[in-house]
């Protein structure tokens, strides 16, 4: 018996149609079939070529075509030439259109686009974890945004929040006793954002943090004079870099993140 030929046709890459076809074939004890994938079908001329081959080979056509005019043309031609044609997307989209009472986007490749967005987001989250708290200065050269600030200015939560927007963020703590990494002064200052906070607010945050850890809130970490010294050093470093400053004194993480995203969008325009 001649090996049957199945033409998998799509106006995107055709992965969905091929996976469904393979899954169905496995229900027949792995029956052999030759699958020929034809991606990025955009016009009726492409359809005509596939129809001609299917007629010659007595093949079947399995298709995922989201553009209505191309899908209807394929349906018409398979019916005209008595070719077994299986429309995977069309019936489901028609049902959804009635259920949701609105027209579909009819845009090829959205599944792949969603996959790419997902993996970009995961990559950004992993990046934020790897280059958190100045762990590896090499990350500064690859980051979309670099956050600098003294301890407890929400650098880590901000990095994670922005990572969920697929933005690669590295953050660096600023301490008078430790020189900032040299990479911080070689990157484009437009990629660097300093997080400023009032001494009084930082004093309150640090004292609360010490109490939560069961420690004495009179420790030097929460001492107001120590805090002022750290903030003076932060001002010195941020001026040397020439970075944008955002005052986070009374801002939630989400609010600061929105300001950073707005800044990035303005920078691109």
248 has binding-site annotation: no
Q: Is 155 annotated as a binding residue?
A: yes
Whole-angstrom distance, CA of residue 93 vs CA of residue 233 = 60
Q: Is 14 known as a binding-site position? A: no
154 assigned binding-site residue: yes
152 marked among binding-site residues: yes
- 169, 136, 135, 133: which is closest to 153 by C-alpha? 133
Confirm or deny that 150 is annotated as ligand binding: yes
**Distance (Å, whole) CA 256 – CA 158:** 8
Is 142 annotated to bind a ligand? Reply is no
21: nearest Cα among 6, 11, 10: 6
Burial of 216 (0-12, 13-18, 19+ CB in 10 A): exposed
Residue 188: is it exposed, middle or buried by C-beta count within 10 angstroms (0-12/13-18/19+)? exposed
* Helix or strand (DSSP H, E) at 137: none
Sequence ranges of the binding site for ADP: 149-156
Sequence ranges of the binding site: 149-156
């Amino acid at each position: 018996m001649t090996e049957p030929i199945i033409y998998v046709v799509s106006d995107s890459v055709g992965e969905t149609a091929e996976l469904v076809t393979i899954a169905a074939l496995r229900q027949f004890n792995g029956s052999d079939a030759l699958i020929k994938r034809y991606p990025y079908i955009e016009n009726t001329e492409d359809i005509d070529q596939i129809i001609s081959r299917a007629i010659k080979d007595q093949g079947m056509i399995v298709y995922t075509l989201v553009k209505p005019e191309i899908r209807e043309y394929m349906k018409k031609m398979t019916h005209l030439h008595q070719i077994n044609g299986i429309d995977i997307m069309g019936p489901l989209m028609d049902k959804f259109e009635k259920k949701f009472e609105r027209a579909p986007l009819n845009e090829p490749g959205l599944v792949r686009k969603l996959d790419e967005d997902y993996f970009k987001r995961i990559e950004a989250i992993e990046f934020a974890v790897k280059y958190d708290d100045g762990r590896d200065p090499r990350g500064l050269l690859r980051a979309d945004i670099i956050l600098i600030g003294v301890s407890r200015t929400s650098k880590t939560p901000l990095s994670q929040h922005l990572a969920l927007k697929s933005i690669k963020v590295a953050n660096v703590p600023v301490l008078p006793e430790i020189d900032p990494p040299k990479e911080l002064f070689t990157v484009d200052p437009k990629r660097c954002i300093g997080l400023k906070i009032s001494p009084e607010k930082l004093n309150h945050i640090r004292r609360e943090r010490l109490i939560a850890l069961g420690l004495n809130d009179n420790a030097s970490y929460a001492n107001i004079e120590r805090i002022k010294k750290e903030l003076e050093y932060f001002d010195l470093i941020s001026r040397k870099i020439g970075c944008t400053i955002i005052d986070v004194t009374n801002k939630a993480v989400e609010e600061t993140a929105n300001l950073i995203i707005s800044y990035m969008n303005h920078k691109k325009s």
